[in-house]
Amino acid sequence: AYLFGDCVECMASSDNVIRAGLTPKFKDVDHLLRIIQYEPRWGSALKFAGQRKTIEPIDSCIIASNDNVPEKSKVQDDALVVSEIVTFSPPVDDFAVDRISISGKHKTVQFSPLKSASILIIIHGKGTLQRLHLDVLRTSAFICESVEFDVGSVFFISAGVSFCIHQFLQESNSYILAFRAYANVSAD
């Protein structure tokens, strides 16, 4: 099959592979034939759609209160990449994946904490990831760690940790593309 664009795979840990050939391992052809569905479908019917959410920029990662996060972006819509998070959240608790796109027009973006740990991989762009320490009421924060990143950088982000991405704007077409995988637990 020919693939193009971004291809990120996230799977739950399992040992439920059913093999039918081309391997020296145990094969169970009869069982595989019983569970395969032989019905034609269009590829578009099988594509898992994500939910889009616009990312709003902030002036700085050090915030005095949640009121400092702007209601609307002051950035024009002519950015190379629209700043957004597209969440791919299947109907299972095992995992979800966010596709994070940050426009070159947005220098700093803050991310709210998740209830689970996550892994963030940088696909495009350069900058600094700043881990924030939030007060008990989550009304103020300060930077407690700052790490520079480049393409291919991977970060482990603990559950309950808020962070900022501060983009290095080197060229007119600068932008950040990253993917974040985490357990698909309720935010409630």
**Nearest to 170, CA basis, from 123, 133, 126, 119:** 126
> Which one from 19, 34, 41, 52 is the annotated catalytic residue?
19
Measured CA to CA, the distance from residue 175 to residue 26 in angstroms comes to 47
Residue with tokens 């069982």: 31
Alpha-carbon span 184 to 135, nearest angstrom:
25
Pairing relationship of beta strands 154-157 and 141-149 according to DSSP bridges: unpaired
How is residue 157 written in tokens?
Answer: 């982000």
Please state, in angstroms and rounded to a whole number, the distance separating the CA atoms of residues 73 and 102: 12
Q: Coil, strand or helix: which one is 64?
A: coil
Q: Is 41 an annotated catalytic residue?
A: no
Choose among 50, 55, 44, 119: nearest CA to 81. Answer: 55
* CA–CA distance, 40 with 18 (Å, rounded to integer): 22
Q: Are 117 and 158 a contacting pair, CB within 8 Å?
A: yes
Residue numbers annotated as active site = 19
